[in-house]
Amino acid sequence: MLIVGEDDSVFIKKGNHMANATRGIVLIHSAPRALASHIETMLDEIVERRYSFQWISQPAGEGLWRAETTWQGPAGSGAALASRLRLIKNIRFEVTEEPSHGSLGSRYSHTPGLGIHHVHIDSAGNALVNEMVLNEALDLLTSDPRAARHSLRLALGQAWDEELESFRHASEGAPVRWLHNVG
């Protein structure tokens, strides 16, 4: 993989074609320690680059560990990462992909009980709810306000946020990842 351009978030040459480049964060909120090397190898294979995780104990669950790292690759790599990670049982994670030229950003959230949730995000990390979901909620508003609220909460991933919140709080000494604005 070759990165070209003044800004390393412009294009990536992969094989014989150029692709929009982007970056993001992989946050493993909880995983058994035995899965650490498997998770790291999988990330390396998808973005074709070696990444370093610093695994620390996850205080929200006994015997669980947490780690996070930034990644860089072709647009769409976030989806590939989330798709592969969701196949691993008993982990909680989030994968973000920053918006790039011609592509919306994304956030993928996963818990063992809820499965995976995807939402597009803007450059500030705000969820972008599509027009069809909003129209459905508006149609339900007068006949079934509870269903309208449920539809919007589902679109925003509220249940995933609630379940992951206790795992998101890093223990003392955890690394801090700063998000960068793209564009």
CB atoms closer than 10 angstroms to residue 83: 13
CB 97 within 8 A of CB 22: yes
Instruction: Provide mean pLDDT across the span 6-24.
Output: 60
66 burial level (CB within 10 Å; 0-12, 13-18, 19+) = buried
For the segment 73-128, what is each residue's pLDDT rounded down to a tens digit?
A: 888 999 999 999 999 999 999 999 999 888 899 999 999 999 999 999 998 889 99
Q: How far apart are CA 54 and CA 68, in angstroms?
A: 7
DSSP assignment letter at 33: G
Please, what sign has the CA dihedral across residues 171, 42, 117, 130?
Answer: positive
Q: Which amino acid is at 111?
A: T
For the segment 25-65, what is each residue's pLDDT rounded down to a tens digit?
A: 999 999 999 999 999 998 888 877 777 789 999 998 899 99
Q: What is the DSSP string of 29-95?
A: EEEEGGGHHHHHHHHHHHHTS------EE-TTSTTEEEEEEEEEEETTHHHHHHHHHTTSTT-EEEE
Q: What's the token pair of residue 139?
A: 């149609």
What was the pLDDT predicted at 101?
83
* Confidence at 174, pLDDT banded by 50, 70, 90: low
